[in-house]
Amino acid sequence: MDRTFPASHRVTTAAVAASLVAVAVLAVALRGVHARVLEDHVRRHTQDADALASGGDLEAAVVQYRAALQLERGDAAVARSLALTLLRLGRLDESESYLRHLLRGDPTDGALNRGLARIHVERGRAAEARAAYQRAIYGQWPGEGRRSGWPRVSSSLSS
């Protein structure tokens, strides 16, 4: 039995292989473009939210932070800003949910612990508030330099 392919089969096989390589290269390139576009959208929403929060338009800031989180759910810095903005709005249940979730990942975050302490105070839970304030006092704060790459949150969001 002859195992050689006729020339037309070899050409077809080479064309199919080249097409598959081209599709793979295109897929990788498109994936990179998508990642950059997604990152730009998240950054734009976050910058808009920060500007709105600094300007006192907290409701609009919340909308922008949520838009950023829908695009990049794992962005802890955006979730942190959202939680603290919700706290400033007095939306304690939502804020507490985000704060507790974020504190599971970073229990030494000073601003998050202070936010949780403020919620405990509002709800009359003195012992929990004291413990959370204690964790905030000894916690890490943005700008301390102990964490490289830690995003800066405007002072209006941290207060």
pLDDT at 108: 92
Domain 13-145+152-158 in CATH 1.10.569.10: no
In angstroms, the CA 42 to CA 104 distance is 23
Q: Which residues make beta-bridge pairs with 109?
A: 140
CB distance 83 to 112 below 8 Å: yes
Can you tell me the mean pLDDT for 125-147?
A: 84
CB distance 157 to 53 below 8 Å: yes
CB distance 80 to 99 below 8 Å: no
CB distance 85 to 99 below 8 Å: no
How far out from the chain centre does Cα 24 lie? 29
Where do the structural domains in the chain lie, given as residue ranges?
A: 13-145+152-158
Lowest-confidence pick of 24-38, 48-62, 64-78: 24-38
Phi and psi at 151, nearest 5°, equal -70, 145
- Which of the four pLDDT bands, split at 50, 70 and 90, describes residue 135? very high
Can you tell me the mean pLDDT for 40-59?
A: 94
CB distance 114 to 84 below 8 Å: no
In angstroms, the CA 50 to CA 57 distance is 10
With 0-12 / 13-18 / 19 or more C-beta atoms within 10 angstroms meaning exposed / middle / buried, residue 79 is buried
In angstroms, the CA 14 to CA 20 distance is 10
